[in-house]
Amino acid sequence: MKFVSIIIGSKSDFSVMTECANTLDKFGVLHELIISSAHRSPARTHDYVKGAEERGCHVFICAAGMAAHLAGAVAAMTIKPVIGVPMKGGAMDGMDAMLSTVQMPSGMPVATVAMGKAGAINSAYLAMQILSLEDNDLKVKLEEDRILKSKKVESDSVDVEIRL
Ligand code: RP5
């Protein structure tokens, strides 16, 4: 069964990453979420990634803060697409996590999205866009979502606009 795996490095990442899970829920995309750390539980991370691949995981979303090696470590274990979400916090408020996540060596890509809530939501959208390459129903839902977003810009503008 095709699904998306969300791995978060700590329980402290959970509240932001519920935005990712909620977005996948909204589109009816199967997903699961676990806590596993590249540093604190490397063996668990490895075993989980291998097991998830066998069970049908198509995309991994990895969220971590500080010296955030989770997405990169997962990318080293699989050729499935890996999306990295840098978490804010720590002494550098996420800049360290962003650089750790985005600066992968050649041949080992991690698709890094924005920090925080926007990144959590965009990680879900990016995962769904990947799945939609082989899922026409999902493609249609994503296209409809774009139309709704565009219409909302127009209706929001009508609410506030001042014309001379
Ligand atoms: C990372 O360190 C986690 O992903 C989290 O963002 C950060 C802090 O973790 P805690 O000390 O709050 O567990 O590994």
The residue to mutate among 6, 7, 8, 10, having the most atoms of ligand 1 within 8 angstroms of its beta carbon, is 10
* pTM of the complete model: 0.97
How far apart are the C-alpha atoms of 11 and 105, rounded to whole Å? 28
How far apart are the C-alpha atoms of 29 and 76, rounded to whole Å? 25
Kind of pairing between the strands at 82-87 and 111-112: parallel
Dihedrals phi, psi of 51, to nearest 5 degrees: -65, -40
DSSP string for residues in 25-88: HHTT--EEEEE--TTT-HHHHHHHHHHHHHHTEEEEEEEEESS--HHHHHHTT-SS-EEEEEEP
Please identify which residue in the block is written with the tokens 């697409």: 81
Residues 6+ apart with CB under 8 A from 21: 6, 31, 33, 124
- Nearest atom (ligand 1) to Cα of 11: 13
pLDDT of the chain, 164 residues: tens digit per residue: 899 999 999 999 999 999 999 999 999 999 999 999 999 999 999 999 999 999 999 999 999 999 999 999 999 999 999 999 999 999 999 999 999 999 999 999 999 999 999 999 999 999 999 999 999 999 999 999 999 999 999 999 999 999 98
Whether 84 lines ligand 1, by a CB cut-off of 6 Å, is no
